[in-house]
Amino acid sequence: PPCLPTSYRFVSQENMDNYLRALDINVVLRKLVCLLKPDKEIIHTGDHMVIRTITSLRDYVMDFDLGVQFEEDLGPVDGRKCQTTVSWEGDQLVCEQLGEKRNRGWRHWLEGDQLHL
Protein backbone atom coordinates (compact mmCIF):
# COMPACT_ATOMS: atom_id res chain seq x y z
CA PRO A 1 0.00 0.00 0.00
CA PRO A 2 1.06 3.59 -0.55
CA CYS A 3 2.39 5.71 2.26
CA LEU A 4 0.59 9.02 2.70
CA PRO A 5 2.53 12.13 3.69
CA THR A 6 1.85 13.50 7.17
CA SER A 7 -0.18 16.68 6.67
CA TYR A 8 -2.36 18.41 4.12
CA ARG A 9 -3.59 22.00 4.00
CA PHE A 10 -7.08 22.70 2.69
CA VAL A 11 -7.03 24.02 -0.88
CA SER A 12 -10.55 23.77 -2.29
CA GLN A 13 -13.78 21.84 -2.38
CA GLU A 14 -16.05 21.09 -5.29
CA ASN A 15 -19.50 19.52 -5.17
CA MET A 16 -19.41 19.12 -1.37
CA ASP A 17 -23.05 20.12 -0.87
CA ASN A 18 -24.22 17.50 -3.39
CA TYR A 19 -21.97 14.88 -1.79
CA LEU A 20 -23.40 15.62 1.67
CA ARG A 21 -26.96 15.67 0.29
CA ALA A 22 -26.37 12.20 -1.20
CA LEU A 23 -25.30 11.07 2.28
CA ASP A 24 -28.60 12.42 3.65
CA ILE A 25 -26.91 15.04 5.85
CA ASN A 26 -29.38 17.72 7.00
CA VAL A 27 -29.28 21.13 5.34
CA VAL A 28 -27.93 23.03 8.38
CA LEU A 29 -25.00 20.66 8.84
CA ARG A 30 -24.33 20.68 5.06
CA LYS A 31 -24.10 24.48 5.02
CA LEU A 32 -21.78 24.46 8.05
CA VAL A 33 -19.50 21.81 6.56
CA CYS A 34 -19.26 23.73 3.29
CA LEU A 35 -17.99 26.77 5.22
CA LEU A 36 -15.23 24.83 7.01
CA LYS A 37 -11.77 24.50 5.53
CA PRO A 38 -10.47 21.29 7.12
CA ASP A 39 -6.82 20.35 7.20
CA LYS A 40 -5.71 16.72 7.65
CA GLU A 41 -2.94 15.06 9.61
CA ILE A 42 -2.24 11.42 8.83
CA ILE A 43 0.02 9.17 10.87
CA HIS A 44 0.63 5.82 9.21
CA THR A 45 2.65 3.21 11.07
CA GLY A 46 2.48 -0.27 9.55
CA ASP A 47 -1.19 -1.29 9.56
CA HIS A 48 -2.17 1.41 12.08
CA MET A 49 -3.44 4.85 11.06
CA VAL A 50 -4.57 7.99 12.80
CA ILE A 51 -6.39 10.53 10.63
CA ARG A 52 -7.04 13.87 12.30
CA THR A 53 -9.38 16.33 10.57
CA ILE A 54 -8.75 19.81 11.90
CA THR A 55 -11.30 22.63 11.66
CA SER A 56 -11.88 25.93 13.41
CA LEU A 57 -14.86 24.40 15.29
CA ARG A 58 -13.68 20.96 16.30
CA ASP A 59 -11.15 18.29 15.45
CA TYR A 60 -12.22 14.78 14.51
CA VAL A 61 -9.86 11.85 15.05
CA MET A 62 -10.06 8.38 13.49
CA ASP A 63 -7.67 5.89 15.13
CA PHE A 64 -7.77 2.41 13.56
CA ASP A 65 -5.99 -0.63 12.16
CA LEU A 66 -6.30 -1.11 8.41
CA GLY A 67 -8.74 -3.84 7.42
CA VAL A 68 -10.12 -4.24 10.96
CA GLN A 69 -13.72 -3.22 11.68
CA PHE A 70 -14.19 -0.84 14.61
CA GLU A 71 -17.03 1.16 16.15
CA GLU A 72 -16.84 4.75 14.96
CA ASP A 73 -18.65 7.37 17.00
CA LEU A 74 -19.83 10.05 14.59
CA GLY A 75 -21.92 11.76 17.28
CA PRO A 76 -20.05 15.05 16.90
CA VAL A 77 -20.47 14.90 13.11
CA ASP A 78 -24.02 13.69 12.48
CA GLY A 79 -25.20 11.87 15.60
CA ARG A 80 -24.66 8.27 14.61
CA LYS A 81 -22.44 5.31 15.43
CA CYS A 82 -21.41 2.77 12.84
CA GLN A 83 -19.12 -0.16 12.21
CA THR A 84 -16.26 1.15 10.09
CA THR A 85 -13.54 -0.57 8.09
CA VAL A 86 -10.75 1.33 6.32
CA SER A 87 -8.50 -0.47 3.84
CA TRP A 88 -6.44 0.04 0.72
CA GLU A 89 -7.98 -0.63 -2.70
CA GLY A 90 -5.05 -0.14 -5.03
CA ASP A 91 -3.75 3.35 -4.28
CA GLN A 92 -6.99 4.56 -2.65
CA LEU A 93 -7.74 4.53 1.06
CA VAL A 94 -11.37 3.36 1.28
CA CYS A 95 -13.71 3.69 4.28
CA GLU A 96 -16.91 1.65 4.54
CA GLN A 97 -19.39 2.57 7.29
CA LEU A 98 -22.12 0.08 8.21
CA GLY A 99 -24.99 1.21 10.38
CA GLU A 100 -28.41 2.80 10.41
CA LYS A 101 -27.74 4.65 7.14
CA ARG A 102 -26.70 2.73 4.04
CA ASN A 103 -24.00 3.49 1.49
CA ARG A 104 -21.82 5.63 3.75
CA GLY A 105 -18.08 6.03 3.51
CA TRP A 106 -15.32 7.86 1.67
CA ARG A 107 -12.17 7.45 -0.41
CA HIS A 108 -8.87 9.32 -0.15
CA TRP A 109 -6.33 9.33 -2.95
CA LEU A 110 -3.33 11.35 -4.03
CA GLU A 111 -2.96 13.25 -7.28
CA GLY A 112 0.53 14.67 -7.24
CA ASP A 113 0.91 16.15 -3.76
CA GLN A 114 -2.83 16.82 -3.28
CA LEU A 115 -5.06 14.61 -1.16
CA HIS A 116 -8.56 14.12 -2.59
CA LEU A 117 -11.74 12.97 -0.83
19 Rama sector, left if φ>0, alpha if ψ -120 to 50, beta otherwise: alpha
Domains for the chain: give ranges and CATH numbers: 7-116 (2.40.128.20)
HSE-up of residue 99 (Cα within 13 Å, Cβ side): 21
Q: Is 77 helix (H, G, I), strand (E, B) or coil?
A: helix
In the structure, what pLDDT confidence band is assigned to residue 33 with cuts at 50, 70 and 90?
Answer: confident
**Contact (CB, 8 A) for 78 and 95:** no
Strand, helix or coil for residue 31: helix
User: Above pLDDT 90, what percent of the chain?
Assistant: 31
pLDDT digits (tens, 9 = 90+) for 85-94: 999 999 999 9
Give tens-digit pLDDT for 65-92. Answer: 999 999 998 876 677 789 999 999 999 9
Instruction: Round to whole Å and give the CA distance between 88 and 99.
Output: 21
